[in-house]
Structure 1
Amino acid sequence: MLTFIITAGGIGQRMGGSVPKQFLLLNGKPILMHTIEHIYAFDPSAELIVTLPEDYLSDWDEMCRKHNFTIKHEVVPGGRERFDSIKNALGKATGDWIAIHDGVRPFVNQSVLNQLLAEVKSHRAVIPVIPVKETLRIADGETNATVPRDQYRIVQTPQVFEAKLIKKAYEQKYLTSFTDDASVVEAIGARIHLIPGNEENIKITNPFDLSLAALILKNWN
């Protein structure tokens, strides 16, 4: 059985405004609903768990009624950090394989999802990445230098794990170095397997991203 944890427990300070970014409208519907619909279309039998800011649980219920959103999912209150939100959701997860996905990434490709689920059975921890196009420089105070971009990758979600592995990893205490689920798993000595992601799978974090998402949606199949 597969569990998808869709994390939307933050308030999206980089977006600005009073509405958390996951609730902003994309083509007339909250971004989070687009993400859930896309995951549901991939596997209607998957267990869906959504983390949300505790202060917005009733707002989400109202949005679901307003948009006649009926896809079955369990809502779990988010915590102070993303780490806490995922830990709360893992306590509810029953799948043998657990995929953790950002609620503001509505454009993961179906072929990427298929490859993630195929590869995790032998690698236990698999994440999608894309290459860096731009030149990179590392800056330290007044000094800076070019770094070889071919050694770097941009990390996306969903990140997929064997259930026993990810649950064990989240028994650790929170560290500021935990920027995603792969970093949590890596901290207990597990290896992370990389597969190619898709460029459309952007994380909508600011107004420019929202404009770009509207363009992607027009051409999305």
Structure 2
Amino acid sequence: MGADRPKQFLPLAGEPVLLHTLRRFADPTLKVQQCILVLPQDQLEAWQQLCAEYAIALPHTVVVGGATRWASVRNGLAALAAHSTGVVAVHDGVRPLTSANVIEATYQAAYNHGAAVAAVVPKDSVRNLSQQGSYALNRARLRLVQTPQCFEIGLLRRAYQLPELSTFTDDASVVEDLHPIHLVEGDYRNLKITTPEDLLVAEAILTTFPI
């Protein structure tokens, strides 16, 4: 991002990106029982300051993350020790435009199937690189994975008891050796804030196409 602060703390429509994200899951119609916010140790004070500055009163528990995404999810999962059953969602803090419909559908699919992930069909043509050059892939058979990624909590705990591998890119890749992953239709507006132009697009969506 090249900004002066972590991207989850950057302003979006006058509020931190992370506040928008947290608000999505605090929607009372979703009936989420507990929100765990995982942050690096050196970002805790900055988040506390933002909570004071923006009077953030949405219920959530802050947990210190680890050196990798895998370790951070494991730490967050440990904070749910009081829950022996149910469905847990893992979500990117920099996906602030996730609709309640996508969240609810992914939770419901995980309740029915054990593991579910929001995903969309690629809009662009896709090519695979090889030593001989590149070749086209059938994008109708490909999906771009988003979050939330939802799992039966016991299944996710079993997956995170296994050793971490370099091939783990998200929670679905951690779980898939234990259980099939059900795909749920995501939303193209559910973008991940990664580069400066993403913030411009996100603000345009918020002001033009309210979710």
Shared fold (TM-score greater than 0.5)?
Answer: yes
2:202 aligned with 1:216, yes or no?
no
Structure 2 residue identity aligned to 1:24: L
Query: Where does residue 163 of structure 2 map in the other structure?
Result: 173
Residue matched to 1:201: 190
Return 110-119 or 122-131, whichever deviates more: 110-119
Write the distance in 2 (CA, Å) between the matches of 1:58 and 1:176.
31
CA RMSD of aligned residues (A): 1.3
Contact 2:106 2:116 in 1 (8 A): yes
Distance 2:153 2:37 in 1: 17
- Quote the residue 1:192 is aligned against: 181
Aligned counterpart, 2:140 = 150
1:169 Cα deviation from its structure 2 partner: 0.3
Which residue of the partner structure matches residue 98 of structure 2? 108
The CA distance in 1 between the partners of 2:154 and 2:73, in whole Å, is 14
| Letter aligned with residue 193 of structure 1 | H
Q: Any gaps of 5 or more consecutive residues in structure 1?
A: 1-14
1:139 alignment partner, SS class: strand
**How far did 1:17 drift?**
2.4
> What is the aligned counterpart of 1:84 among 56, 71, 75?
71
User: 1:44 Cα shift?
Assistant: 5.1
Paired position in structure 1 for 2:52: 65
For residues 145 and 157 of structure 2, the distance between their equivalents in structure 1, rounded to whole angstroms, comes to 21
Correspondence for 1:9: none
Report the equivalent of 1:74: 61
Give me the identity figure in percent: 37
Q: Distance in 2 between matches of 1:150 and 1:45?
A: 33
Contact 2:30 2:104 (C-alpha < 8 Å) held by counterparts: no
For the residue of structure 1 that corresponds to 2:169, the secondary structure is coil
